[in-house]
Amino acid sequence: MIEEVKVLAPNYVELIMKFLEKCKAEKIRKLYPNELLRDDVMSILEKNSMVIYYPLEETEKNNGFLVRGLSLYGVSEECNFVFINTAKPTEKQAFAAAHELGHIWGLSDYFAKNDIELDLETEELVMNRFAAELMVPEGRFMENLRNVVCEIRNSKNDESTTLELDEFAHIIVMLMNVFFVPDVAIVRRLNELECITSETVNYFVNELKKPEESTFRELIRKSVNDMGYFKLLRPTQKKWINDLPELLEKAEKKGALTEEKIRMLRDSFEIKEGPANWETRSIDVTISKGRSEQQ
């Protein structure tokens, strides 16, 4: 049975767009003037939260989740902690970061101020649409889509508007590479911008979400390899907490931890003493899961 892809009402999308423009003006454009954020979205997330990068098992469905209002070692003010599952492909990590920014910046509160209370399921749909609008702006998407379709037609010397399955996979991968988002996000974006029908998006999203390898997913992988987009479909397996060296330095200065524990943490995480030697290393961390959000 094909699961139906849920869509948002037009007034919800309108509110998302108004909120996004406000966020771009106040939080993004001065630091990141490029319209396409790609993996720069991770840097934006790190400026707005404490980010924990850690790989979970491949069976774990969550790409990321947010835990609000925690403090670390008593040396930092309460902040938002965001977990990013680095066992997922890097483009999924980027989309998860954009999704969590919607939560952190208060999109749900913005809806509430406009007299719309979101249940949990609808809230996640809203955050996914926010992430799609942030990462895949309509104008650039349509421009790139037209270019890719024209390229395929010219290569076939064919005026037909019908695409073969491998050609559709080629289009999806080309757009994944441009915007650095997952294949499912591209297929959904095609439907959101009325380029494909609801029946078509339902079919392909279900094909891409199958636990076993589907014909269409195999074509996606083949196109990624054939085109040499080796950053796509590959996890980073990164293990890190951003700002950890700085936090340990603050803890040492404030006496929040004993010298022995500070030394043990630095040794365990391979962090050299002193700010001039702060380096990013792979570390092992134990985390407690909060409410998860699937993209």
CA distance 115 to 260: 53
Q: Are residues 153 and 64 in the same domain?
A: no
Number of domains in the chain: 2
123 lies in the same domain as 157? no
For residue 22, the SS3 value is: helix
Position 2 in a domain = no
Q: Examine residue 261 and state whether it is found in any structural domain, yes or no.
A: yes
SS in 3 state form for 128-160? HHHHHHHHCCHHHHHHHHHHHHHHHHHHHCCCC
Which of 173, 201, 227 terminates a domain? The answer is 227
Stretch 187-209: mean pLDDT: 96
Is 4 a domain residue?
Answer: no
Question: Of 248, 283, 286, 212, whose CA–CA distance to 73 is shortest?
Answer: 248
Q: Across-strand partners of 240?
A: 53
Domain boundary among 227, 252, 273: 227
Residues 23-45, mean pLDDT to the nearest whole number: 94
Residues 159/160/164/167 CA torsion (nearest 10 deg): 30
| pLDDT confidence tier of residue 283, bands split at 50, 70 and 90 | very low
Q: What is the pLDDT of residue 159?
A: 66
Q: Which domain holds residue 148?
A: 138-227
**By C-alpha distance, which of 190, 194, 193, 195 is closest to 205?**
190
Specify whether 202 is located in the same domain as 283: no
Q: Are residues 14 and 61 in the same domain?
A: yes
Q: Which two tokens stand for residue 247?
A: 């936090």
d(C-alpha 275, C-alpha 271), whole Å:
10
Note whether 76 and 117 are same-domain residues.
yes
Residue 111 in domain: yes
Residue 57: count other Cβ atoms within 10 Å of its Cβ: 7
Which domain-ending residue is among 203, 227, 251?
Answer: 227
pLDDT tens per residue across span 203-221: 999 999 987 889 999 999 9
Q: In this structure, is residue 3 part of a structural domain?
A: no
The pLDDT, as a whole number, for residue 294 is: 45
- Residue 66 pairs with which residues in a beta bridge? 82
Split at pLDDT 50, 70, 90, the class of 69 is low
Among the residue ranges 1-5, 100-104, 121-125, 233-237, the one predicted with the least confidence is 1-5
102 and 220 both lie in a single domain: no
Stretch among 31-35, 131-135, 154-158 having the lowest mean pLDDT: 154-158
CA distance 29 to 83: 25
Is 154 found in the same domain as 100? no
Same domain, residue pair 115 and 22: yes
Residues 176-195 as b/e (b if ≥16 CB within 10 A, e otherwise) read bbbbbbbbbbbbbbbbbeee
pLDDT tens for 73-114 read 554 566 788 989 999 999 999 999 999 999 999 999 999 999
Residues 116 and 240 in one domain: yes
- pLDDT of 288 above 80: no
Query: Which of 69-73, 113-117, 279-283 bottoms out in mean pLDDT, i.e. has the lowest?
Result: 279-283
Asked whether residue 26 falls in the same domain as residue 121, the answer is: yes
Mean pLDDT of 287-293: 37
Q: 3-state DSSP call for residue 240?
A: strand
Q: What percent of the chain has pLDDT over 90?
A: 60
Name the 3-class secondary structure at 13. Answer: helix
pLDDT-based confidence at 270, cuts 50/70/90?
A: low
Read off the CATH number of the domain in which 105 is found: 1.10.10.2910
What pLDDT sits at residue 78? Answer: 66
Q: What is the pLDDT of residues 148-188, one digit of tens each?
A: 999 888 887 766 668 899 999 999 999 999 999 999 999 99
Going from the C-alpha of 292 to that of each of 52, 82, 131, 142, the distances in angstroms are 14, 10, 16, 32
- Taking the C-alpha atoms of residue 15 and residue 114, their distance in angstroms, rounded to an integer, is 9
Is 271 within the bounds of a domain?
yes
Short-list 174, 98, 107, 105, CA closest to 141: 174
Tokens of 246: 């700085």
Measure the CA dihedral 76/80/85/86, to 10°: -50
- pTM equals 0.83
**95 vs 176: CA distance, rounded Å:** 11
